[in-house]
Structure 1
């Protein structure tokens, strides 16, 4: 692995347990606080899901999201951040129409230099997660070859090592550029 992607490796059971906990948390927040939920995590391949570089990428995503929602007059009702070895997660219930929030998150994913690693989900109630396609957008592209990311991932067109090196390069380039400005 890359030098910056050291950390505690997660098993498949760890990742599945984290997914179950995330889904429980989403249901709780939607049932108790509102109808529109934004859930944010990172698309990090391989067994290491949390370390200082991953935390920096994640924190940058939250920062960009908060700037964007402030600029779009969206009000956060409740928010939670979790930093665990299975990967950092952010949840926010907002006063804003779900499609408007999905447009905001798609713009961050598509335009921010680290956006390809960001994974924003927008829920309109318990049963409806908005998709890019529903918003008239094409599916996300692979980090390396620009094919459909879902199909590329499922067919394992690239090694975890290649993907990790690409994410490291993107992150180091981005953080060095903002440090030097």
Structure 2
């Protein structure tokens, strides 16, 4: 929990300094070992995509490794709602999108959520219940969730190899 609190404080400082929206990329990896090959590679892939999408608007970017895994923090000179719409599209439609959280905060540090667009909460990638409930209740084993992430990553790398 300490790593998360330190990251949030750092994010607040960046928002105060830059006064523009902030984007955080994190992998939804279960358990305590969030610093692993799959988590890091998925973060790097999504980072590259985000950099391409916002290439002319990124004012600041930093990649850090914490107990939460590999984290990317970016300040983007674009409307927070516009950024969130693009990240929602990635989360919902990219093969690795369900494996990551693409959190967007406005220039005052307020989180922009799916609900701000009238969308439902994210679904669990194993059973399609509300993801938050599955995580809190530990409905699925760590192995089951890791298996899903690995299979998505494998599917992505196979598709990328054929392009």
Smaller-chain TM-score bracket: over 0.9
Q: Is the 8 A contact 2:24 2:72 kept in 1?
A: yes
Shift in Å at residue 171 of structure 1?
A: 0.7
What is the Cα-based RMSD across aligned positions, in Å?
A: 1.4
Structure 1 window deviating more from structure 2 (60-69 vs 111-120): it is 60-69
Say if 2:40 is the partner of 1:55: yes
Unaligned runs of 5+ in 1: 1-15
CA distance in 1, matches of 2:7, 2:122: 22
2:64 corresponds to which residue?
Answer: 82
2:10 corresponds to which residue?
Answer: 25
Q: Is the 8 A contact 1:80 1:90 kept in 2?
A: yes
Q: Is the 8 A contact 1:65 1:108 kept in 2?
A: no
Query: 1:90-169 counterparts in 2 under 5 A?
Result: 90-169=72-151
1:83 alignment partner, SS class: strand
Unaligned runs of 5+ in 2: none
CA distance in 1, matches of 2:52, 2:120: 25
Aligned residues: 163
2:153 corresponds to which residue?
Answer: 171
1:12 corresponds to which residue?
Answer: none
1:116 alignment partner, SS class: helix
TM-score, length basis structure 1? 0.84
Shift in Å at residue 172 of structure 1?
A: 1.2
- Moved runs in structure 1, 4+ residues, more than 4 A? none
Shift in Å at residue 138 of structure 1?
A: 1.5
